[in-house]
Amino acid sequence: MTLPPPPGPYGAQPPGGGEPQWGGPPPQGPGAPPPFGQPGPWPPQQWGAPPPSNNGGKAKWILGGIAITLAIALAVVITVLVVRPAGGDRQQSDTANGASEFASANDTGPANIITEDPTCEAWLKIARDMDSSVPEWNKLDYGVPASDWTSEQRSAFEKQSTTLTDTIPRVANLAKQTPHRVMRELYGQFNAYSQAVIDSIPTYTTSDREIVAAANQFSSALNRVCDALYYRAAQQTAPAILPPAPPTEIQQASRDDSPVPQRFLRSTDSNCDSWKSVIERFNKETEAWRGIASNISAMEWTSEQRSVMDAVGPVMDTYANDIEHLGRESGNPIWEDFAVLAAQYMRAYVQAIPQYTVNISYMASQSTRLSNAINWACKVVA
């Protein structure tokens, strides 16, 4: 088996196994081996509602249904100013007039695989602090409404609210420092949905678990960006795929100093139905692939496993094309960036299949986590 990179600031990569499955995200703090988890099996995916509890264990990699765990509160000092890329002079003027505090202010290209980012290590520190602040959060049943909470559950939710609130200013700094627009947007949506979790707690109902799920999945997507970067899956695969087309629109950082941006989906969107259909079809067509453990390198595949892996590549390419198309047709620049990013990570995974090594699993994982985040954002407004 090809060995992963040596240990670094995020810790050593386990030799395989134990990766959260295709259901929900892993515990959002560093409860799993650092940096944010490890590769492992690919069990069945589904679109259904999340289980009522994560049972305090490892979550699952499903495009849709998830065991909801710790929702990371992330903040971004960003508001919504949509600028069409064709207006180059106008965009430069907007940047000069106030968005220059963001390192990503001049990032006007397409969302693409992240091969470096100076904020990943700081993000891990925040994730660890979050996890240690409310360790019982991962054991809660998020389908229980506030009216039925025990004193222990109420205490955990209240502590989580405080922790999320305290975390916002720390992550606002990360949003300013990342040189990537899509990372800034990810931080922003973590913050937006985590703020919604905070707001929901006083009158928490069963349906609010969908807000928790969205916040959770956005932080998982960011986790996997940093995993793929640290274990060099991103660097190894990104050069082998074509860059995406330029964005239809660009969501630019503005001068508003609010630490909580708007959620990228604020009302029912018909595009959500199409997104669900694409994911359900993908789930059905990749069932055999999900039965192969991701901690087995290409050199160790049986002839049957190799046949399955070869066959799944075109399915994944079609899926990547479909989700990118839906993102570009959404009329929502943040959705478009997220869809393009998820598509690129999946394409990178596909091209690496012939020489697959364990670290490459982070590419598919990032794609599915981000697709999950969009899924749950759709459920919030359904």
- My answer on whether omega of the bond before 35 falls inside 30° of 0, hence cis, is yes
- Residue 22 resides in a domain: no
Structure confidence at residue 130 (pLDDT)? 85
What whole-number distance in Å separates Cα of residue 233 and Cα of residue 199? Answer: 37
Classify strands 250-252 and 81-83 as parallel, antiparallel or unpaired: antiparallel
- Residue 287 resides in a domain: yes
What whole-number distance in Å separates Cα of residue 20 and Cα of residue 41? Answer: 8
List CB contacts of 55: < 8 A, sequence separation 6 or more: 67, 139
- State in Å, rounded, how far the first CA of the chain is from the last one: 45
- Weakly modelled stretches of the chain, pLDDT under 50: 1-62, 64-99
Structure confidence at residue 187 (pLDDT)? 94
Structure confidence at residue 25 (pLDDT)? 35
Structure confidence at residue 241 (pLDDT)? 97
Is residue 251 within a helix (H) or strand (E), and if so which, with residue range?
strand 250-252
Instruction: Please report, as a single letter, which amino acid is at residue 137.
Output: W
Structure confidence at residue 171 (pLDDT)? 87
Domain that holds residue 254: 81-381
- Residue 198 resides in a domain: yes
> Which one-letter DSSP state was computed for residue 28?
S
What whole-number distance in Å separates Cα of residue 136 and Cα of residue 27? Answer: 11
Number of domains in the chain: 1
- Angle ∠(185,223,354) on CA atoms, nearest 5: 110
Distances (CA, A) of 303 to 77, 306, 310: 51, 5, 10
- Residue 208 resides in a domain: yes
Is residue 308 within a helix (H) or strand (E), and if so which, with residue range?
helix 303-329
Structure confidence at residue 255 (pLDDT)? 64
What whole-number distance in Å separates Cα of residue 112 and Cα of residue 115? Answer: 9
**Share above pLDDT 90 across residues of the chain, in percent, rounded to a whole number:** 60
> Which one-letter DSSP state was computed for residue 41?
-
- Residue 74 resides in a domain: no
Structure confidence at residue 254 (pLDDT)? 60
The strand pairing partners of 250, in sequence order, are: 83
The strand pairing partners of 22, in sequence order, are: 61
> Which one-letter DSSP state was computed for residue 53?
B
- Residue 301 resides in a domain: yes
What whole-number distance in Å separates Cα of residue 347 and Cα of residue 320? Answer: 7
Q: Of 76, 161, 171, which Cα lies nearest the Cα of 122?
A: 171
CB 65 within 8 A of CB 49: yes
Is residue 179 within a helix (H) or strand (E), and if so which, with residue range?
none
Structure confidence at residue 142 (pLDDT)? 87
List CB contacts of 183: < 8 A, sequence separation 6 or more: 104, 114, 117, 119, 222, 225
Q: Of 32, 34, 39, 35, which Cα lies nearest the Cα of 57?
A: 32
- Residue 48 resides in a domain: no
What's the sign of the alpha-carbon dihedral 374, 379, 381, 382? positive
- Residue 11 resides in a domain: no
What whole-number distance in Å separates Cα of residue 50 and Cα of residue 46? Answer: 10
CB 346 within 8 A of CB 320: yes
Q: Of 182, 179, 56, 183, which Cα lies nearest the Cα of 110?
A: 182
Q: If you count them, how many residues does the chain have?
A: 382
